[in-house]
Structure 1
Amino acid sequence: MIFDAHCDIWTDVTHHHLAGERDIFRRYHYERLEKGGITGGIFVIWNDPPYDKDPLKRTHQMMEAIAQEEKDCADILKVCRSFRDMDEAIKDGKMYAFIGLEGLKSIGEDVDRIDEFYQFGARHASLTWNEENPLATGARGNPDRGLTDLGRKAVRKIQDLGMILDMSHINDKSFWDVMDVAAGPVVATHSNCRALCNQARNLTDEQLKALADTGGMVGLNSFNEFVHPVESEQTVDNLVKHLIHMVEIMGIDHVGFGFDFSEFLEGDTLNSFSSQATPYTIGLEDASHVPALMEAIRKAGFSHEEIEKIAWKNWHTLIHKVLHA
C-alpha cells in the first residue's frame, strides 16, 4: 500500500471532462497508479494557469468533473470524506481519493465559502499556491508579506471543520504566521529539504521540526527541481537523501509521500511551475515507477516497519487524527 498526499489528477480529469469525455480516471490514470502500487491519496482542486484568472469558475468546473467521475468510476475509485470511507475502500479493493484544495484563491475574501467546499467533500486545504491572495503569501510572493487577518480566520475554520491544513507552497513569513495560529497537526504534503536543494518551495530544518512538533507531517516530492539544482543529479538516489534528512530531523513518524507527479500536464499549466524540459526525477518518471523508489529506500537501510510508516501508515494515522469522521 502507498498513499500519495499530493496528486493533480483532477486537473487532467477536468481538461478531458470539458472536452466531453467520460470515465477519465479509468482511461488515463488507473493503470499507471496500479502498476506503481498507489492505493490512495489526496487529489487536489488546483486553479491551474491560465484558468486561474477566474478561480471560482475553475473550481466549480473541477467540482462538476469530480462529481461525474465519482459516478463513472465508482467500481474502482472511492472518493472519501471520512476515515471510515477510506477503510471501506481498502476492504473493497478500490483505490481511494480525498479531495484537497491546493490554494484558496477561489474564495476571494469570503472565508465562509470554505464551508461549501467542505460540504462537497474537501478534507484538505492550503491557503495559497505560489501567489499572493487575500489570505496569505505564496512562495513567489513578497517575502515580507505574511498571513492576513482573513487568513487567520481561514486557518481556524479549516481546522475547526476537521480538514488537513497544508503549508506546501506558502512563503516563509506566512509559514511562521500560520504556526502561531494553528492548533493541532499541520502538514506540508509535497515539499523537500532546503538544506539539500535551496529552493523556496523546500522547507528549512527549522520548518520541518516545527511541523513534527505539531504532530504533523511532510510528503516527499518527486518534482525534479526540488531534488537537486543540477539536472543530471535529479535522481531517485538523491531524492532518497531528502527522505533520510527528513527522518533525521523529524523522526520516522512524521514523513510520507506527496509525489506531485505532473508528467500528464502540459502547456501553460506545466510551464507555470516547471522551467526544465521535463518535470520528473530521473528514474521516477511517473507513478508506475514508484517501485524503483521503494527499492532505493530499502537499499538505503530502512526497515520493513519504517517503510510501511513512510508509505502509508503515517498518513493514515494523521487522517484518523484530523478528520472528524
Structure 2
Amino acid sequence: MIFDIHGDIWTDVTTKRIDGVKDVIRTYHLDRFKKGNMAGGIFVIWADPPHDTRPRERFIESVRAMSSEIWQNQDIIKIIYNSNDFYKAVEENKLGILIGVEGLSSLGEDIEGLYSLYQIGIRHCSLTWNEENPLATGIDGDINRGLTKLGKEAIKIIEDLGIILDVSHANDKTFWDIYENTNKPFIASHSNCRSLCDVRRNLTDDQIRAIGEKDGLVGLNGFNKFVHKEREKQTVEYLASHVDHIVELIGIDHVAFGFDFFEYLEDNTTDSFVEGEYKGTIGLEDISKTDNLINVLRKRGYKEEDIEKISYKNFLNIMDKVL
C-alpha cells in the first residue's frame, strides 16, 4: 500500500475541467493508481507554469475544479485529516487524499489567508515553489535571500493551525531559516540526496540530518534528473540508493515516497523547467511501477515492516503529530 506524499493531480484536474472534461481522476488515473497499489497521497494545488505569473487566479481556478471533482467522485475519493481517516478510506476502497498547496504565492502578503486555506481543507503547504515571493525564496531566487519577516509570521500561523510545512523547492537559506523558526516537525515531500545527485533541488546531508532532528520526513522523488546526472544511472536501483542514504543518516522512520510523477502536467508546464524530452526514471516511469522499487528494497534487506513504514506509515505518523 502506497501513500504518495507529492502529486500534482489537481493540476491535471484543473486543466481538463477548464476544457469541459469531468471525472478526471477516475478516467485518466485511477487504473494506474490501482496497479501501483496507491491508496492515497498529498494532492497539491500549484500555480503551474505559465500560470505562475497569475498565481491568485490560478489558485481560484484550481479550487473550483478540485471541489467539483471531489463532490462528483465521492465514491472513489475521501479527504483525510488524520490516520483514522486514511484507514477508513482504505476500508471504503477510496483514495485517501490530503489536500496540499505547493507554494503560497497566491496569498501575496495576505498571510491571514492561511486561515481560509485551512477552512477549505488544506493541511499541507510549502511557502514557495522555485520563485521568490513575499514569504520565502525558492531555488531560482537570490541565494542570499531566505525567509522574510512575513514568512516567519506565516510559519507561526501554519504551526498554530496544524498544517504540515514542506521545505521542498526552498533554497538553502530558506531551508535553514525554516529550521530555526519551527517548533513542529516539517517535511521535504519530494527531494533526494545532494551527495548522490548534486542538484539544488536535492538535500545536503546536513539538511537531511536537520529534518531528522525535527522528527520530520524526507519524501523520495522519482524525477530522473534528481536521481543521477548520468542518464544510464537514472534507474530504480539508484533511486533505492537514495533511500539507503537517508536511512543511514536519520533512520527508517524518517523516509517516505513523494514521487512527483509528470503524467499530471502539460508539456508547456514541464518545458519551463525540464531540458529535453522527459523519459522518467528507468523502472519507475509512473505510479504503476512502484513494485519495481519495492522489490529492489526487499533485495537489499528491507523487512516488510520497514517497507510499510516508508510506503505509508511514516507519513501517517507525521499527520497525527502535526495535524
Name the CA distance, whole Å, in 2 between partners of 1:246 and 1:124. 22
Name the CA distance, whole Å, in 1 between partners of 2:83 and 2:306. 22
Report the equivalent of 1:222: 222
Report the equivalent of 2:204: 204
Name the CA distance, whole Å, in 1 between partners of 2:93 and 2:263. 26
Alpha carbons 2:109, 2:134 under 8 Å: kept = yes
2:187 alignment partner, SS class: coil
Name the CA distance, whole Å, in 2 between partners of 1:185 and 1:40. 21
Alpha carbons 2:255, 2:314 under 8 Å: kept = yes
TM-superposed CA distance for 1:279, in Å, is 5.0
1:43 matched to 2:35: no
Report the equivalent of 1:152: 152
**Equivalence map 1:18-167=2 (5 Å):** 18-167=18-167
**Equivalence map 1:283-302=2 (5 Å):** 283-302=283-302
2:306 alignment partner, SS class: helix
Name the CA distance, whole Å, in 2 between partners of 1:160 and 1:149. 17
261-270 or 198-207, which deviates more: 261-270
1:93 alignment partner, SS class: coil
**Equivalence map 1:232-311=2 (5 Å):** 232-278=232-278, 280-311=280-311
Name the CA distance, whole Å, in 2 between partners of 1:263 and 1:16. 13
Name the CA distance, whole Å, in 2 between partners of 1:257 and 1:264. 17
TM-superposed CA distance for 1:273, in Å, is 2.3
Alpha carbons of structure 1 residues 131 and 279: separation in structure 2 relative to 1, 3 Å: farther
Name the CA distance, whole Å, in 2 between partners of 1:80 and 1:305. 23
1:100 alignment partner, SS class: strand
Alpha carbons 2:82, 2:316 under 8 Å: kept = no
Alpha carbons 2:209, 2:250 under 8 Å: kept = yes
Q: What amino acid maps onto 2:69 in structure 1?
A: E
Alpha carbons 1:236, 1:293 under 8 Å: kept = yes
Name the CA distance, whole Å, in 2 between partners of 1:242 and 1:59. 33
1:296 alignment partner, SS class: helix
2:203 alignment partner, SS class: coil
TM-superposed CA distance for 1:107, in Å, is 0.4
Instruction: Give unpaired runs (5+ residues) of structure 1.
Output: none
TM-superposed CA distance for 1:72, in Å, is 1.6
TM-superposed CA distance for 1:82, in Å, is 4.0
Q: What amino acid maps onto 2:221 in structure 1?
A: N
Report the equivalent of 2:174: 174
Alpha carbons of structure 1 residues 52 and 159: separation in structure 2 relative to 1, 3 Å: same
Name the CA distance, whole Å, in 1 between partners of 2:78 and 2:117. 18
Alpha carbons 1:108, 1:133 under 8 Å: kept = yes
Report the equivalent of 2:5: 5
TM-superposed CA distance for 1:22, in Å, is 1.1
Alpha carbons 2:78, 2:95 under 8 Å: kept = yes
Q: Deviations along 1:148-182, whole A, 9 cap, x unmatched?
A: 00000111111111010000000000100111110
113-122 or 238-247, which deviates more: 113-122
TM-superposed CA distance for 1:86, in Å, is 2.2
1:115 alignment partner, SS class: helix
RMSD: 1.0
Alpha carbons 1:247, 1:254 under 8 Å: kept = yes
Q: What amino acid maps onto 1:222 in structure 2?
A: G
TM-superposed CA distance for 1:233, in Å, is 1.2
Q: What amino acid maps onto 2:189 in structure 1?
A: T
Alpha carbons 1:81, 1:122 under 8 Å: kept = no
Name the CA distance, whole Å, in 1 between partners of 2:307 and 2:83. 22
Alpha carbons 1:263, 1:280 under 8 Å: kept = no
TM-superposed CA distance for 1:280, in Å, is 1.6
Q: What amino acid maps onto 2:39 in structure 1?
A: T
TM-superposed CA distance for 1:270, in Å, is 1.0
Name the CA distance, whole Å, in 2 between partners of 1:20 and 1:198. 42
Name the CA distance, whole Å, in 1 between partners of 2:264 and 2:210. 33
Moved segments of 4+, more than 4 Å: none
Name the CA distance, whole Å, in 1 between partners of 2:65 and 2:49. 18
Name the CA distance, whole Å, in 1 between partners of 2:305 and 2:86. 21
2:248 alignment partner, SS class: helix
Alpha carbons 1:55, 1:105 under 8 Å: kept = yes
Name the CA distance, whole Å, in 1 between partners of 2:127 and 2:153. 11
TM-superposed CA distance for 1:46, in Å, is 0.5
